[in-house]
Amino acid sequence: MPMVNWVPILLLVLSNAFMTTAWYGHLKFKESPIILAIFVSWGIAFIEYCLVVPANRMGSSVYSTAELKTMQEVITLVVFSIFSVWVLKEPITLKHGLGFVLIALGAGVIFYKPGAFS
């Protein structure tokens, strides 16, 4: 796979790391004022946007918009799972895992190319 195909994926992974931190990182600091959590999260989200916009712009030359969105969702689940376990110390249960697998199977439908297995 040419490098240009991987750059948008890498940027999506990085952007998801920032967005997951923006959305859920403040849960480690529930004693801090909510307004502080909002502004810190907003600042972190700005970095995410600086990564996701170029990812989608570059990615659209290689992938369809539906494929980019599907990648984004699968990457989000993977990044969230890692963040949940390592940072929030919340386990991913069998129920969560099964749900994520079903979502990933749905993503596979988006990327399925007719005749790919013949």
Token pair of 57 as six digits: 């712009």
- pLDDT, one tens digit per residue, over 67-113 is 999 899 999 999 999 999 999 999 999 999 999 889 888 888 887 77
* Prediction pTM value: 0.83
Token pair of 65 as six digits: 């918009």
Is pLDDT at 46 greater than 90 in this prediction?
A: yes
Residue 55: band (very low, low, confident or very high) from pLDDT cuts 50, 70, 90: very high
- Cα separation, 16 vs 72, in Å, equals 8
Residue 5: band (very low, low, confident or very high) from pLDDT cuts 50, 70, 90: confident
Predicted pLDDT at 116: 59
Residue 3: band (very low, low, confident or very high) from pLDDT cuts 50, 70, 90: low
- Cα separation, 10 vs 85, in Å, equals 22
- Residue 105: which residues within 8 A CB-CB, separation 6 or more? none
- Cα separation, 15 vs 76, in Å, equals 9
Token pair of 44 as six digits: 């972190």
Q: Which of 21, 78, 74, 81 is nearest to 46 (CA)?
A: 21
Give the dihedral of Cα atoms 27, 31, 36, 42; nearest 10 deg. 0
